């Protein structure tokens, strides 16, 4: 009996050790190991995380240990120009008459956490920092920003419902809806980048101007953007530099007619466009769907080349040609397609126009390589390499 028990015990000890070799760590096997010493290590610097909760006409501030924040009603100002720490502003709650204005000299983040801000007299969020602003949309949340029909006079720029002097990055998988009732919906005096699965809805009313506007470029690598512009002469995406689309799903609709202004007695006509780019427009991936229905409305209007090497681009105009010609793709220098697919259709004028005087539609687009499908007419261009 005794020996039997001891033998069973020995067997038990031996057997129980074997299955105990599994690791209970999280698996990050899909992460690439990098050794780049220049990798952004700013998470090592001290952080100031400040919580701002909007509630009607007041805003409550928490964890503002340095006293950066002042609030007048729900109009919140963050003055952290001397701060050397990192900063994260966490916004939540709702206000029909509030705003956030930030003065700062180092990059920082704003976390939109189901926040709704309407400012009847200016931008909902005005970033006066010339360094990067990362706007994070908390996964599973839906935030809303809206401006008013008029802006109060200030001694600093107020170019959009969400305006930034510095670069704008959108991160996080939450949803952000931006309404523009007076100026642009989202604007940066630097560049704007979408490189995460953020969902952004932009609605520009007839009294607004553009959807996205950037001085130094618009770069879309990921995310979902719906841009609806109803303003005369309004653009869904207005880039004063390059425009690059490498991923994501972008849908732009413009319904406005031409905007005619008289300057020094001379009439100046601006047509609406889903995308207007002052420099190269390049598409390497993603899905871009453009519809312009106003008089003279364009799909893409570019002062340099329009180059397509990947992705799916569908551009359609249905407007009249009273004050301007409604073209699906209009470039001053060239339209080149090397890959992906393009479907450009118009009801009037040219589907693709590269500035050539030729009446042959095939002279208005350069096809590099051998597409699987190629149909080029004046009002319809369908090319697919897929």
Task: Based on the shown chain and the rule CB under 8 A, indicate whether residue 9 belongs to the binding site for other proteins.
Answer: yes
Residue 11 interacts with other proteins (CB under 8 A)?
A: no
Residue 23 makes contact with other proteins by CB under 8 A: yes
- Name which position in 107, 213, 276, 301 contacts other proteins (CB under 8 A): 107
Residue 114 is a binding residue for other proteins (CB under 8 A): no
**DSSP 8-state symbol, 16:** H
Q: Between 124 and 163, how does the x/- string for binding to other proteins read (CB under 8 A)? A: ----------x-x---------------------------
Q: Given the rule CB under 8 A, which of 14-22, 64-72, 147-155, 322-330 is the region that contacts other proteins?
A: 14-22
Restricted to residues 193-232, the positions that interact with other proteins (CB under 8 A) are 195-196
Tell me the DSSP string of 168-223.
Answer: EEEESSSEEEEEESSSEEEEESS-EEE-S--EEEEEE-TT---SEEESS-EEE-S-
Please identify which residue in 7, 11, 12, 347 interacts with other proteins, judged by CB under 8 A.
12
Distance, CA of 155 to CA of 149 (rounded, Å): 19
Burial of residue 294 (number of CB atoms within 10 Å: 0-12, 13-18, 19+):
buried
Task: Give 345's Cβ-side CA count (13 Å radius).
Answer: 9
Query: Hey, what's the torsion of the CAs at 140, 132, 276, 100, to 10 degrees?
Result: 60
- Contact region with other proteins (CB under 8 A), list: 30-38, 233-241, 244-252, 334-342: 30-38
Cα of 280 vs its chain's centroid, Å: 18
With CB under 8 A as the rule, give the number of residues binding other proteins: 44
Listed ranges 3-11, 69-77, 142-150, 251-259: which one lies at the site for other proteins (CB under 8 A):
3-11
Q: In the beta sheet, which residues pair with residue 289?
A: 251, 314
CA distance 40 to 38: 6
Contacts with other proteins in 45-74 (CB under 8 A)? 47
Q: Which CB sits closer to other proteins, 41 or 155?
A: 41
- Give, in order, the Cα–Cα distances in Å from 120 to each of 98, 150, 164: 8, 7, 19
Nearer to other proteins, 7 or 154 (CB): 7
> In the complex, which residues of this chain contact other proteins (CB under 8 A)?
1-2, 5-6, 9, 12-13, 16-17, 19-26, 28, 30-36, 39-43, 47, 86-88, 107-109, 111, 134, 136, 171-172, 195-196
């Amino acid at each position: 009996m005794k020996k039997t028990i001891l033998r069973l015990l020995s067997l038990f000890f031996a057997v129980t050790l074997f299955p105990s070799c599994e690791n209970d760590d999280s698996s990050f096997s899909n992460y690439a190991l990098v050794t780049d010493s220049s990798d952004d290590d700013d998470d090592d610097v001290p952080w100031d995380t400040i919580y701002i909760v909007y509630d009607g006409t007041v805003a409550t501030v928490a964890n503002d240990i340095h006293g950066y924040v002042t609030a007048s009603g729900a109009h919140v100002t963050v003055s952290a120009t001397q701060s050397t720490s990192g900063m994260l502003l966490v916004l939540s709650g709702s206000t029909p008459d509030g705003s956030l204005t930030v003065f700062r000299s180092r990059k920082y983040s704003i976390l939109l956490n189901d926040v709704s801000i309407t400012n009847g007299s200016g931008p909902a969020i005005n970033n006066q920092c010339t360094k990067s602003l990362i706007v994070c949309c908390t996964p599973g949340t839906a935030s809303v920003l809206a401006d008013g029909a008029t802006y109060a006079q200030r001694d600093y720029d107020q170019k959009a419902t969400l305006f930034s002097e510095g670069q704008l990055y959108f991160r996080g998988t939450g949803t952000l809806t931006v309404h523009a009732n007076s100026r642009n919906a989202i604007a940066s005096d630097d560049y704007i980048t979408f490189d995460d699965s953020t969902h952004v809805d932009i609605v520009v009313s007839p009294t607004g101007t553009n959807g996205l506007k950037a001085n130094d470029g618009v770069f879309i690598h990921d995310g979902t953007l719906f841009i609806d512009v109803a303003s005369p002469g309004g653009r869904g995406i207005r880039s004063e530099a390059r425009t690059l689309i490498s991923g994501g799903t972008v849908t732009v609709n413009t319904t406005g007619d031409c905007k005619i202004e008289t300057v020094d007695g001379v009439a100046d006509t601006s047509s609406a466009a889903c995308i207007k780019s002052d420099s190269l427009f390049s598409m390497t991936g993603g899905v871009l769907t453009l519809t312009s229905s106003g008089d003279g409305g364009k799909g893409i209007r570019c002062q340099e080349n329009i180059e397509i090497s990947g992705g799916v681009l569908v551009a359609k105009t249905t407007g009249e040609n009273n004050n301007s010609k409604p073209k699906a793709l209009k470039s001053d220098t060239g339209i080149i397609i090397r890959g992906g697919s393009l479907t450009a259709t118009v009801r009037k004028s040219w589907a693709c126009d590269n500035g050539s005087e030729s009446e042959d539609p095939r002279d208005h687009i350069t096809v590099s390589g051998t597409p699987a499908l190629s149909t080029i007419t004046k009002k319809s261009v369908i090319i697919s390499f897929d």
